[in-house]
Structure 1
C-alpha cells in the first residue's frame, strides 16, 4: 500500500467514520442566569413555575413578564418569565430556554400576582388564568413605533351634579379625587345616565394621578361608556377592549395600557385583567349579568377579579346596577363596602308608575286586548303612550315565534317522536319542528289523547310582535333580540318588542313599558330566579319616563310577590337583603362557598375518591344532569362555610392534580361559586 492511500476495508465490514469534535453548548448569562417561567400547561399537577437557564445570547431579550419558548416534556411550549434569579433551588441540571419570543414585558408583577390569586380561588391553574389575562401576541402591533414618553394631559374636574342626587355621591367623588379608596355599591336611579356617572368617577380618580378599569356586560354598554369617557376625559385618554375588535386592534390597545400611554381601560369581562399601572379605581356595571361570568376554565367572575385587584392594590371599588345581587349586598352587610343610594323622595320623583296585574285570564278584555293577549290596563297604557307620540317597550322573556307547544285538547307538552325534544314553530306558515334534532313534525299526534291539533304553550318575541302589529294597526313595530339588537330608537310612536338584555335606549325615555309572561322568569329552576327577574325588570323600567312625565309600567305579575313589591317601591336593596337572609338560612351562596363537579358518573366518583373534604364541609349528590347531552353525566355539589373557601379550592385543585398525574381519561369540570346553581 502506497503512502497516502487509505486503509483497505475487509469485504462485508463497514468503515466507522471519523468521530467529530463535540460542539460547545450555549453559555448561561453572566448575570441572573436563571429564569423562573410559568409554562403554558393546564395540567393541575404541573401548576407551578419551572426554572430554566438563560442563554447568554438571549440575555437582553429574556425580561420579567416577557414571552419565551421552552422545551417541556419533549415539546416546545409557550411561557411567561416571572423573574430572573441568581440561582435555582432545583438540585438537578437545568435546561436552557429555547428562545425569547419578545422582550415586551406583557405580564406585570401585579397581574401575575392577581392571576395566581384568582387561580387559587377558583381551583384552577395559573396557565388558564393567564390565557384570559394576556391576549395573544400580534407581532405587527408589538413592533409598532412607541410614542414619546410625554406626560399625560391633565383632566378637568368632573361635574358633580349627577352624583349629588345620591346621599353620599359627592363625597365619593371627593374621596377619589383626594387619592383615597372608597368602596361602594351603587344603586342607580331609574333613568340614570350611568355611563356619564362612571366617567365622572373615573375623571376624579385620574385627577389623583391613578388609573381606572371599568367593566360592562356587552358591546352596546361599552359603546355608551366609551362615548361618555371621551366626553369627560377627552380624546386619547382611554382605550376600550372587547371581543368585537380584531386581534391586532385589540392587542394594540392593550399595549397602550401596558406601556402606560393611557390610564383608563374600559371593556367587557376580559378587561378586568387590563394592565393599568397605579390602579386607583375598579368599577363594574350590572354585576348580575351572566355575561360577566367567564365560560372558560377556571370560570372566574369579573366582579371577583376586580375585587381581588382592589384588595391587592388598595384601590377604590364601585359596583353599580339598577338591581342588586346578593353578593353585592353581602359586601354592604359585612362592612366591606358602603351603600351609595338616593333618598326615598328622590327615588319617587325619578321612578315611573308601576302597575302589577294578575293572570290575564282574570282580566277583562276588549277586542284589541284579546288580539294582543294583553290585560286591558296594559293595552290602554300602550295606546295612550302611542297617542302622545312616545315609544312603548314590550319585554318578552322568550325569543322566537312559538318556542314551546302543547296538545290543544289535553295540554300535554308536544314532543318529537324521534328524540322526545320539544316542538316549536318558527313562523306562522312553518311546519312544527324539533328544537333538538330539527326533524319536521307535520304528522305529529299526541301520545296522550291522540289529537293532532297543537296550541302555543309559550309565545316568543316574534309572535308577540305579530299580534301587537295587528292590535295597533298602522303603528311601526321594531324588534330587538338575537337576530338583531337595536342600540337606540327615536322619540316617536312605535312598539319596541325586545327580549331581556336587548332593550334599546329611547330618546327621551319610553312612554310605557309592558312586562309580559313573568311566569317564564319567576318559575325557572334556578337559585337566582327571583334576583334575575328583578334585574331584568329593573333594567327595562329604568328606560321609562318618570311618572311626573306620564311614564307607566305594567307588570304581568301578582303584586304580592316580593320581587314585584321591590319593583313597585324601586327598592332592590330590600330584595337583595331578603334574598341574602334566605340563602344564609338555607346554606346557599354567597353565604357559603360551593363548588360543582360535573362529568361522567365514573369520573365524578373517581374525583370524589381523590378529594379530601375540608372540615365541616359536605357533599351533595351526585345526581344526574337532566339537560346534558350525555345521559351518563352527573353533578355533585360540595359546600363549606364561607371562611373555608380557599381550603375547598386547594382540595379541589389537589384532587384534580392526582387525576391528571395518572392521566384519568374522563375530565371533571370544576366550578367554584357557579353563576347558575340549578
Structure 2
C-alpha cells in the first residue's frame, strides 16, 4: 500500500477511563465511506479492551501514509451528525479547564438515541428561521431600556452582571421579562439564545413568558423531566442552523446551537448549577468558557448575561476585575425590608416578634402571607430536654425526629421508633424540639390565626401558585409558590439558624434565599426578617447585595479561599496523591509554599486513602489542570495491570481522582 492514500476517521471513544480521553485513528472501510462523516455515532474496536465500543467521529481526513497499521471502523450507527465541531470544541475546552474528560461533558448534552425520532428528523425538511413581530421587538427594547447600555452590550458580545427587578409583573416575576426581552432582541438579530435557570419552577415561568411573545417553534425546552423521545427531539432541533431560543437547566449551557448570540444564567448562586457528575463544572464556568469561543462561521462571540436578585462573590470578582460589566437599572427598586427584633417585654429568642406578628395579621385582611422557614417536616431534630445533647438512636446512632406533636421519636436513618429512649449523657427520658419544620410551623400558626387557610409548600408538598385569598403559606427556602398579585407580607423565620450552618458561603446563600422570597412580595408589602443582625441583615434591608459580595471577597482574600483563588482536591491512594503533588510542584514551580493543604488520611470504601487541597491563582489554572490530569491518566494506566483477583477487584476503581473549583474546601 506504499504511496497510497486512505480515509481516516478520528474518533472520540465513549469511555469513563481517563487514559482513553483522546482521539483514536481508524481506517474507514469502503462499505462505510459514504456514511462515515464528522459528528456521527460509530462503533469501533478497542484492541486494549478486546471489544467494540461506542464513539463519535470528530473529523475525517485523507492520510497519505497508507502503511500505518490501523483498525477499521466496525459500523456507523446512524447518519445523524449529533456531535458538531462546535460542541466538541466546547466540551474539550471545558474538560481541559476542569482536568476532566470531554466525553463526560458530552454525556450531559447528547441524549440517548431514539431511533424513531431520529428517522423522522432526518427525513424532515430544514427548519425555517423564526420571525419576530415588530411590536414584540419594540416591547423588548422597552424592557431593555430600563437598563441603560444593556442593549448595546448584548449586541456587542458584552459580559454583563445585572441585578434583576425584585418584583412581580402581572402573575410572573419581573426577571422573566428581562430574560425574555434579551432573547427576543438576540433572535431578531438572526442569532440563537441560550437561557439557563436552576430548577423546573423557574423553567416553567420563563417558558410561559416566552410562549406569549414568540411562536412555539422558536423556543426549545431542554428538561430532565421530559421523556426520552421529547428530549431527543429537542436536542436535534438545536442542531439545525435556524436560530432558536433554548431554555433549560444547568446542562443547557452546552446546547449545540449554531451562531449563539446570548448566554444567560439566572441566579447563578443556586447550588443546582453545580454539576454533581464528573468533571463537576459549574454552569457559570462553562458559560464563561463558551463566551470566549467565536462562532466557526461568523467569527462572532455571544453576549453573556448573569442576572439575579443577589450578586455572588464569583460574579463580583469578575466585576471588580473589569471582566464583567455591572449594568444598573435606571430606576432602582427595592422591597420594603424590616429587621424585626424582640422588644423589652418579649422573651429573648421569641420566634415571631410582636411587630412581625402584627404585620402578618394586618396583611391577612387583604391576601396571602408568605412564611419562609429553614427546614421541611414537623420537627427536624430533637435534643435532650435537660442537657440539650442531640437525641440519637440507640441502634444506629442516627438523629431522632418527631412526626407530630406528642408523637414517638423516630430515627431518620434506620426508621426505628425510640419508645424507651434515654439520653446517653444524663439518662433523661425527656426530649424537646430543637427546631421547627414547615409542618410544625403551619400547626403553630394555624392555632395563632384560627380560621385562616394554612398552606405548606416544601419538597414533600410542592405548590406552584396560590390565589389572592387570605392564607398563610409556609414554605421552605426555594419552594415558595407564586401568589396572585404578590404576597401582602413576607415573614422570614429561622434566619439565625440558617446562618449557623458550617459553610463558607452560608452568608451568600442566606442572602439569596431571603432576597428571592422578598421579590415575591406585592408593591409596598412589608418583608420582616426576624432575629438576624449583622452585615447580611443590613445588606438585605438596604438591598445592597453586591456590597456584601465585595466584603466577602475582601475577607476571603488573605485566606486564599474561593473565589479569590481556585481550589483543587486530590483523592486516592496515599502514594498516588504524593506522586501527583510532587509532579505538580515540578510542573508548576510558581506555586506558593502554602499552596498545598494536606494530605490527610481518609477512608475510601473501606480502604485507606489520602486527600489534599491545592490552592492556586487563576493564571496558573491551565498548568495546574494539565498536571493533575496527567497524573490521573498515569495512575490509571499503571493501575490497570494490577487489578486482578477477587480481593483487588473490590478496591476503589480510581487510584487517583481530582476535582477543580471546590466551593467548600474541606480536608
Judged with a 3 Å threshold, the aligned counterparts in structure 2 of structure 1 residues 524 and 229 are, in CA distance, closer, same or farther, namely: same
Q: Match of 2:311? A: 324
- Quote the residue 1:382 is aligned against: 360
Question: What is the DSSP-based 3-state SS (H/G/I as helix, E as strand, rest coil) of the residue aligned with 2:203?
Answer: helix
Distance, in Å, in 2 between the alignment partners of 1:255 and 1:542 is: 36
Whole-Å separation in 2 of the counterparts to 1:412 and 1:669: 38
1:395 alignment partner, SS class: strand
Larger-gyration structure (1/2) = 1
Q: Is the 8 A contact 1:238 1:262 kept in 2?
A: no
Q: TM-score, normalised by structure 2?
A: 0.89
Q: 2:648 aligns to what?
A: none
Task: Please name the residue that 2:536 is paired with.
Answer: 563
1:607 is displaced (CA, Å) by 5.3
1:593 equivalent in alignment to 2:580: no
Q: Secondary structure at the match of 1:427?
A: coil
How far, CA to CA, are the matches of 2:483 and 2:447 in structure 1? 23
The alpha carbon displacement at 1:503 in A equals 0.7
Corresponding position: 1:144 with 2:120: yes
Mapped contact 2:153–2:160 kept (Cα < 8 A): no
Determine the C-alpha separation between the residues in 2 that align with 1:562 and 1:632. Answer: 43
1:204 alignment partner in structure 2? 185
Give the alignment of 1:439-458 within 5 angstroms. Answer: 439-458=416-435
SS in 2 for 1:663: helix
Cα 1:119/1:150, change in 2 over 3 Å:
closer
User: Is 444-453 or 334-343 further displaced after alignment?
Assistant: 334-343
Cα–Cα, structure 1 residues 404 and 602, in superposed 2: closer, same or farther, change >3 Å? farther
1:206-259 Cα offsets, whole Å, 9 max, x none, are 111111111000111111111111222222111100100011110001101112
Worse-superposed segment, 420-429 or 60-69: 420-429
Distance 2:90 2:335 in 1: 42
**Cα deviation 1:72-98 (Å, max 9, x = unaligned):** 121211111010011188984100000
Q: Which residue of 1 aligns with 2:632?
A: 656
2: CA distance, partners of 1:92 / 1:147:
41
For 1:325 and 1:632, locate their aligned partners in 2 and report how far apart those are by CA, in whole Å: 37
- Per the alignment, residue 493 of structure 1 pairs with 470
Contact 1:133 1:274 in 2 (8 A): yes
CA distance in 1, matches of 2:583, 2:13: 25
Q: Which residue of 2 aligns with 1:135?
A: 111
Partner of 2:615: 639
Q: Cα distance 1:362–1:483, how it changes in 2: closer, same or farther (>3 A)?
A: farther
Shift of 1:182: 2.1
Report the more deviating stretch, 287-296 or 442-451.
442-451
Between Structure 1 and Structure 2, how many residues are aligned?
631
Counterparts in 2 of 1:488 and 1:60: CA distance versus 1, 3 Å: same
Q: Is the 8 A contact 1:415 1:421 kept in 2?
A: yes
Extract unaligned runs of 5+ from structure 1.
1-26
1:241 aligns with 2:222: yes
* Separation of aligned partners in 1, 2:343 and 2:411: 29
Note if contact 1:174-1:204 (Cα within 8 Å) is conserved in structure 2: no
Confirm whether residue 353 of structure 1 aligns to residue 329 of structure 2.
no
Residues 1:300 and 2:281 are matched in the alignment = yes
The SS at the match of 1:467 is: helix
- Which residue of structure 2 aligns with residue 42 of structure 1? 16
Taking only aligned residues, the RMSD between alpha carbons, in angstroms, comes to 2.5
Alignment partner for residue 538 of structure 1, among 511, 515, 521?
515
The 1:150–1:49 alpha-carbon spacing in structure 2 relative to 1, beyond 3 Å, is closer
Instruction: Kindly provide the CA deviation profile for residues 317-354 of structure 1, in whole angstroms up to 9, marking residues without a partner as x.
Output: 100000111111122111111112225xx33xx33321
Paired residue for 1:250? Answer: 231
| Aligned-residue offset at 1:454 | 0.2
Deviations 1:587-632 (A, max 9, x none): 1112111112345767655754665463314211234679x98696
The 2-side partners of 1:241 and 1:267 are apart by: 5
3-state secondary structure, aligned to 1:563: helix
Counterparts of 1:392 and 1:89, CA distance in 2: 75
Distance 1:340 1:212 in 2: 20
User: Structure 1 stretch 633-642 or stretch 244-253: which is displaced more?
Assistant: 633-642
Q: Give a deviation string over 1:337-377, Cα, whole Å, max 9, x none.
A: 1112225xx33xx333212134x6976279xx97xx42111
